[in-house]
């Protein structure tokens, strides 16, 4: 049984790089839905349908533990996958999201006045303020939707990000935040630029840095899952569109011979007159 890592595009590769660096012994399957990225401006139902198809794809490739690295998919689809999809079809598999580990990290670091940047869907959902206040009711959370960042990074435009980032971050920096959460898989790819715009007084929380430790702790707490994970150090990378940016990032982080493969995702067909999903899952 392998560990699956899903993202709407290539941003999750940086999360995977961090995880593999810390836990190299396991077998991993990456899936990036590069054909349909960005997810962040789509409706909740669409994000759910895309995410469910991705999770089924990873289950069919022997992933017993799937990490939804994408904040947008974690926000809009994870709960329904855990509560409706898994119990119905594959109760022995686990699907984990990225929001709670990020929130826990911010609280552990003592953040009081926090800025969050993310996709329109993540910001609109209010998931970060809600989950942060559950753990620390007096925390101040300011959010800014940053819809241009992921498409620019996805299309190899990271070098043109600086003025756009500075503009997006301005209202947060003016409010004297002490912490900035990068609430999207893609943003750590520009983390040096973001850290330099934010300045030394602001801690920047990056999911590629926190996810490895959180996953390791989860695996330690669940020896029954650990025992079923295969340990050959294999890595396979699936994408719905093998773009040049994906190819070059995978090569620079995982080597020229990184095993890149084409993925076809099939949306579950709803029965006529219902909004249900999953009917075609064997």
Task: At 123, give phi and psi (nearest 5°).
Answer: -65, -45
Q: Does 34 bind ligand DGL (CB under 6 A)?
A: no
Pair 260, 247: CB distance under 8 Å = yes
Residues 172-211 that bind ligand DGL (CB under 6 A): 184-186
Q: Is 32 in the site for ligand DGL (CB under 6 A)?
A: no
Whose Cβ is closer to ligand DGL: residue 111's or residue 119's?
Answer: 119
- Please identify, using beta-carbon distances, which residue of 42 and 56 lies nearer to ligand DGL: 42
Contacts (CB under 6 A) with ligand DGL, residues 125-164 = 150
- For ligand DGL, give the closer residue by CB, 7 or 27: 7
Please tell me which residue in 132, 184, 197, 215 is annotated as part of the active site.
Answer: 184
Q: Which is nearer to ligand DGL, 4 or 118 (CB)?
A: 118
Q: Which region among 38-46, 52-60, 107-115, 174-182 touches ligand DGL (by CB under 6 A)?
A: 38-46
Among 9, 97, 101, 129, binds ligand DGL (CB under 6 A): 9
- Count the neighbouring beta carbons within 10 Å of the beta carbon of residue 253: 15
Q: Select from 15, 136, 137 the least CA-distant residue to 74.
A: 15
Among 51, 71, 146, 243, indicate the residue that binds ligand DGL (CB under 6 A). Answer: 71
Strand 179-183 to strand 203-205: parallel, antiparallel, or no bridges (unpaired)? parallel
Preceding omega of 38 cis (within 30 degrees of 0): yes
Strands of 235-239's sheet in order across = 94-96, 63-68, 2-7, 28-32, 235-239, 259-262
Edge-first strand listing for the sheet containing 203-205: 140-145, 113-118, 179-183, 203-205
Q: Which residues bind ligand DGL (CB under 6 A)?
A: 7-9, 11, 37-40, 70-72, 118-119, 122, 150, 184-186
Q: Hey, which residues are catalytic here? A: 70, 184
């Amino acid at each position: 049984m392998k560990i699956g890592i899903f993202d709407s595009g290539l941003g999750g590769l940086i999360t995977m790089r961090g995880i593999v660096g810390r836990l190299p012994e396991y077998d991993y399957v990456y899936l990036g839905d590069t054909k349909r990225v960005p997810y962040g401006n789509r409706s909740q139902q669409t994000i759910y349908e895309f995410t469910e198809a991705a999770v089924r794809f990873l289950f069919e490739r022997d992933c017993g533990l799937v990490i939804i690295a994408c904040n947008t998919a974690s926000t809009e689809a994870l709960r329904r996958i855990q509560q409706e999809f898994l119990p119905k079809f594959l109760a022995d598999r686990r699907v984990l999201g990225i929001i709670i580990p990020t929130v826990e990290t911010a609280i552990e670091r003592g953040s009081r006045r926090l800025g969050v940047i993310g996709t329109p869907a993540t910001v609109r959902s209010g998931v970060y303020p809600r989950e942060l206040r559950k753990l620390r009711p007096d925390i101040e959370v300011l959010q800014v939707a940053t819809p241009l960042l992921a498409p620019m990074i996805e299309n190899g435009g990271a070098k043109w990000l600086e003025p756009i980032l500075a503009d997006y971050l301005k209202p947060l920096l003016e409010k004297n935040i002490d912490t900035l959460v990068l609430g999207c898989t893609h943003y750590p790819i520009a983390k040096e630029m973001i850290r330099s715009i934010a300045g030394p007084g602001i801690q920047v929380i990056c999911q590629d840095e926190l996810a490895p430790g959180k996953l390791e702790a989860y695996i330690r707490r669940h020896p029954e899952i650990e025992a079923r994970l295969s340990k050959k150090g294999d890595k396979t990378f699936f994408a719905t569109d093998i773009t040049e940016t994906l190819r070059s990032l995978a090569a620079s982080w995982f080597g020229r011979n990184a095993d890149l493969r084409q993925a076809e995702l099939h949306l579950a067909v709803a029965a006529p007159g219902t909004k249900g999903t999953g009917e075609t899952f064997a």
